[in-house]
A = this chain, B = another copy of it.
């Protein structure tokens, strides 16, 4: 199958490298809003085009992977490019998913393409685990924890504080909370009890560190409801220890069965990821394979990860899957 990428940031580069790990996939081109000449793909022979060229590539790409941001890019791009190709995005503004789904569904159906929104690990694999968990244990509780990992939004918030030269924020699940859930205690947890926030900050020379720390810790929505730690470190240490984009997390379903609901069960799914964008890209490609197959079957419209039978994700045949993985 032939793939295109729109946007060559962390996610776009992740998709590019993940395509190399899937023998049935080929990267045809990368579209960018920047000057195409300024982009240097890691893959030899891959064309770089301006976004204006997208309509001209119709018929030459099986699935276009949209690697823009959820705030402003994807709400425009996904419905627009579903006119020309099967498309897939990682839209992650949970509250706006129904609206985005409806918009994409309409153009995808009108133009006979399959689109998938909100693919990755949350939304994505974690959503799938929440669904399996609640379907299998109807009487129970859900818990999702994130981390330890870098939150891009919170890191951006730190960097907006005056006197901050660079900053990175790690979301950290509270070990006691994890243990309590894992032990089937079904705790009711406040925001503060679930996660802590750990910030590594490079301050500008002469900046008032106490003021910066106070500003971060009291920032509404981002930090005020959490136990936050702020570490001031040198630029060297920052580059050495905090250059990566690790992430991960946990999805639990705890529930009961039995005539008197006397038996307890704990389902736990966890991810420990060295690179958030590369893992997200890997999930996207498995689902890109699925929507390409659905498209060949004549299906059209918008799908979520909930709508895809697992067998569609694998390059193996049904016979092979049943013989080796079932």
Chain A contact residues, CB within 8 Å of chain B: 14, 17-18, 20-22, 42, 94, 97-98, 101, 118, 123, 125, 127-128, 130-132, 134-139, 182, 184, 257-259, 262-275, 278-279, 281-283, 286, 289, 304-311, 313-315, 318-319, 321-323, 325-326
User: A125-B136, A270-B268, A275-B257 given as contacts; is B325 within 8 A of A130 (CB)?
Assistant: yes
Please measure, in the bound complex, the distance between the C-alpha atom of A42 and the C-alpha atom of B137, giving whole angstroms.
20
A306 in contact with B282 given A14-B257, A263-B274 (CB within 8 Å)? no
Indicate if the CB atoms of A278 and B257 lie closer than 8 Å.
Answer: yes
Report B-chain residues with C-beta under 8 Å of the C-beta of A305: 310, 326
Contact indicator A326/B97 (Cβ below 8 Å): yes
Contacts of A314 in B (CB 8 A): 131, 134-135
User: Contact check: which of B17, B266, B282 meets A136 at CB < 8 Å?
Assistant: B282
- Cβ of A42: which chain B residues have Cβ within 8 Å of it? 259
Listed by A's residue number, 24 A-B pairs whose Cβ atoms lie within 8 Å are A17-B259, A21-B139, A42-B259, A97-B322, A101-B322, A125-B132, A125-B136, A130-B325, A131-B311, A131-B321, A131-B325, A132-B310, A135-B286, A257-B275, A262-B274, A265-B275, A267-B271, A268-B271, A305-B326, A306-B310, A306-B322, A306-B325, A306-B326, A307-B309
Q: CB < 8 Å: which of B262, B275, B315 contacts A258?
A: B275
